[in-house]
A and B are shown apart, each in its own frame.
Chain A
Amino acid sequence: MADTLLEARGLTRRFGAALALDALDLAIRPGEFFALLGGSGSGKSTLLRLIAGLDAPDGGALFLDGRDITADPPWARPVHMMFQSYALFPHMSVAENVGYGLRRVGVARGEQARRIAEALALVKLDGLGARRPHHLSGGQRQRVALARSLVMRPRLLLLDEPLAALDAGLREQTGFELRALQRQTGAAFVMVTHDQEEALALADRIAVLEGGRLVQVGTPEEVYWRPATAFVARFLGAANIVEPATLPLKPQVAGAAAYALRPEYIRLTRIGGASDSDLRAIRPSDHRTLGHEETGPNRVMGVVREAAFRGDSTLFVVALEAGGALRVTVHADDPMPEMGERVALAWDPDDLAPLAA
């Protein structure tokens, strides 16, 4: 199994009566950036701790390069973790922190110094080796934690919410740097996050967890455009779950239990006003225009109830006359509907992603 670095088979973990991980199977490939995405209580952090060896499973097994490591203690696993709080040792300098693992495995002193310098250069902290962690900024601390793990040259690096503690402004840049480091070192990165944007932006593959189970594993494109379940669809921002029974769907897509319809896929049309200019809430590349007739396939009527300005777009919640509501985003360049305005909503059947029950 050359294309599998880490494999989890039937991994189960209980906390009292609660099932944190429910017979989970997972395969991580060498050198990939893998995101474990889920809300709190989804089991994503438990999974990470099990892989690191900081917690033991109640059932199932973990294999690294085909070798069973389930019973190995954390200090004997060639897997390293970057903790959410960074867990830097406050009584040691930056260089001592980075060299901690090298000292534990007995790397020669000269080699230690060389590798510490190399790791600090990798995360662009050259010359800060003598500082204490509490004299560093949040971003610098994050890099020290990263260097402390990377200096061990792990084939698998675990990152627990690596960007969560950073300022919003620093997050995007640090995310790109993480990607660059991952490519540069060739290590597989497994990142736990609750932020779908972070997962979509950084990962090669994303696993979406819910209630201790994997609900979908796929590339960011796959999970974003073709969510497998209503949960995945909601979690990844497709807030419209359309039920065939309540909305007039074309026959060829009707039949599944439900569909995810992304807000940006819905076309908005003004009804009966002086201006019948199209309100578009669809991909900018799509320039088809609609008339203002009230009938037609995949078309419903509604009233604008809420508006939330989002910078480059505005999100509208349209209450449907047939009951329920749809979310629609309108690009800032396009004409906006008014609050309380009656509008027609339409969509392309191809833009509906069928969901498992």
Chain B
Amino acid sequence: MRRLLILVPVWAWLLAFVAAPAVILLGIALGQSTEGIPPFAPPVGPGLVWQGSLGNFATLFEDEFYFDSLLRALRIATSTAALALLLGFPMALAIARAPRARQALLLALVLLPFWTGFLLRMGAFIGLLRDQGLINGLLIGLGVVQEPLPLLYTEGAMLAGMLHAYLPFAVLPLYAALSRLDPVLEQAAMDLGATPGAAFRTVTLPLALPGIIAGFLLVFIPAAGEFVIPELLGPSEALPVGRVLWQEFFQNRDWPLAAALAVALLVLLILPIRLFQRLESRA
């Protein structure tokens, strides 16, 4: 009973800020776009008359623009998460194997970027990458190139920014998994004939799997809906879903369509989560 009481605030929070908004969002998605305030007609009209439709969802599938933006967001999120794991794994391993006293300092360094404002850091990226920026200035000054390289407003710039912003979310769960791993296990593997590579592949990697999965999801999920970084660093065409959502909500004011897009993104994100949970429970 006491256990249940402790959980009351948690459930209240989830109900108020997760379940209720999701229901409202779904309601808007089933409604019709109008010219009023709010700019939509709910799916259930006065006198409990059903006036909703699945038209907005149909539009998502019919208009390639929306479908592509979803796929693009998933692709960018996958790349970001994969790169964050590739970069974060050696970092986390090095921190976990460092002397105990130094681990806290190294972890603090991983989190150090959070101490500076997010927009400032993105501004720094723009300063680095733009045509008159540091990198192009240096390359031209050294005579490596004549014309500035198009660095800013590319997928590369966007991925660099995403990686920079989300790397700590991969490093922390990886560190948590790797620091729990007894280094004696790798020694036992090598004692039984495993080369360091084989010991890593057969012992360290599978035992770090929960951390890998958690790190992937922690980067993948927010990266899939990210709209600020693509806006600031990415190409102006070929928008990912986060930016399309922004446009539909605030520029086109087509709330029902935007809501439908948000619901579609939510469903698409739940799939990989379920998949990874399956993997994790087997590991």
Contacts and interface: CB of A to CB of B under 8 A. Distances in A.
A280 interface: no
Contacts of A91: 206-207, 283
Interface stretch (A38-46, A81-89, A230-238): A81-89
Given A75-B195, A104-B198, A87 B184 contact: yes
Interface in A73-131: 73-75, 80-81, 83, 85, 87, 89-91, 100-101, 104-105
Interface residues of B, number: 18
Contacts of A53: 191
B190 A87 contact: no
Contacts of A83: 184, 187-188
A54 B192 CA distance: 12
A73 B190 CA distance: 9
A152 interface: yes
A148 interface: yes
Interface residues of A, number: 21
Contacts of B191: 52-54, 74-75, 80-81
B5 to A, nearest CB: 33
Chain B binding surface SS class: helix
Contacts of A148: 192
B205 to A, nearest CB: 10
A81 B187 CA distance: 10
A104 B192 contact: yes
A104 B193 contact: yes
Contacts of B203: 89
Contacts of B202: 100
B182 A101 contact: no
B93 interface: no
Contacts of B189: 89, 100, 104
16 contacts: A54-B187, A54-B190, A74-B191, A75-B191, A80-B192, A81-B191, A83-B187, A89-B185, A89-B189, A90-B207, A100-B192, A100-B194, A104-B198, A105-B193, A148-B192, A152-B193
Interface of B: 182, 184-185, 187-195, 198, 202-203, 206-207, 283
Given A52-B191, A91-B283, 19 more contacts: A53-B191, A74-B191, A81-B191, A83-B184, A85-B184, A87-B182, A87-B184, A87-B187, A87-B188, A89-B203, A89-B207, A91-B207, A100-B189, A100-B192, A101-B193, A104-B194, A105-B193, A148-B192, A149-B192
